[in-house]
A and B are shown apart, each in its own frame.
Chain A
């Protein structure tokens, strides 16, 4: 964050342009795993919708996300359980990538990127707090 308009900085000085091959590979694997898991869950949810003859537009209002109901819906094999779990996996995968990067940068002693990672996670945590605060309050 120290580059300025008048003096363009090199990769090492700016700390932004350099690559981190090992960490990149580990994160790539994590992203692939999260994506395939999410798509698998969503596909299962869509198939259960089809089996149950559930149209996407037939209920006039769709159910809100309720984490407490998730285990029951999954155990009962209800489409919405798998759909919600798939959607949560989609949304959580990028945050898991940031946590993995945080661990990698901490091991490498890269304080700047540890601070950046923690900052991103703080913003995500704020989103969760804001979402919970206004939970189900408007559409």
Chain B
């Protein structure tokens, strides 16, 4: 019972942090379950995939109603992220826990660096219906999307850390549209691999249930309080958490 409450509270924390910082929460849920609750990494990834689908479905609807997420672009790219996720879902059951832990540590370091380099505030007006922009280098975007899908399936994250830079920097999509569209794409990307985890016995319902409910509650709270919180302080705290977690994951990779 106490463990169940702990999972819900952990899910809420991941949901709040994820929504305030524009992440799916998977990058926090996997370390929470492995380092905090001692779950094997692959089981933690299965639970995390379910949670990132919940946050994606909940927030993508809002972004679509505001016409910030681009359904056509998102669906075209998610054809490739889903292919990558299918490949990653198969690879995940071939790699050992130490390799997965090392890959996750590398992702955490990359996330911390990305967070430090992110600009301080919103610099773009929110686009609405009829907003027109140019899409360039689609081919590179498709390749990047396959890569994002593989990473998502292997490590249980939404893959926004790859998709957003690919769309924004490579394809020339405005940052807000890229972020919202990435969020929309997470659902299909994660479900393509979550299906494999589900049938192969990689999702524990007793852990996934409380965590998913917690993440949903946390993301709801986070989206309502985002405007009241100093994101610079939060981002610094997050970078520290990521750095510490990366260190612990490296230890896990070396000592397992």
Contacts and interface: CB of A to CB of B under 8 A. Distances in A.
Interface of A: 1-5, 8-11, 14-21, 23-25, 27-32, 34-35, 38-39, 42-43, 45-46, 49-50, 53-57, 59, 62-65, 79-80, 83-84, 86-88, 90-95, 97-98, 101, 113, 116-117, 119-120, 123-124, 126-128, 130-132, 134-139
A2 B37 CA distance: 48
Given A16-B72, A23-B71, A128-B195, A38 B138 contact: no
Contacts of B190: 94
* Contact residues of A: prevailing secondary structure: helix
Nearest to B206: A56
A123 B188 CA distance: 10
12 contacts: A1-B138, A5-B139, A19-B130, A31-B187, A34-B57, A55-B206, A57-B3, A93-B57, A101-B71, A116-B76, A134-B200, A139-B200
Contact of A126 (B8, B86, B206): B86
Given A39-B54, A57-B206, A136-B201, 17 more contacts: A4-B138, A8-B172, A11-B134, A19-B72, A24-B67, A27-B64, A39-B216, A86-B212, A94-B57, A94-B191, A101-B71, A120-B82, A127-B195, A131-B200, A135-B201, A136-B200, A139-B202
Nearest to B198: A65
Contact of A19 (B70, B83, B212): B70
B116 interface: no
B4 A120 contact: no
B109 interface: no
A28 B62 contact: yes
A132 B199 contact: yes
Given A9-B134, A16-B73, A138 B200 contact: yes
Contact of A15 (B69, B72, B131, B188): B72
Interface string B46-77: 00001001101110111011010111110110
B212 A16 contact: no
A17 B195 contact: no
Contact of A135 (B2, B129, B200): B200
Contacts of A30: 61
Given A116-B75, A138-B200, A21 B195 contact: no
Contacts of A9: 134-136
Contacts of A14: 134-135, 138
A97 B195 CA distance: 16
- Closest CB pairs A-B (n = 4): A131-B199, A94-B187, A31-B61, A83-B205
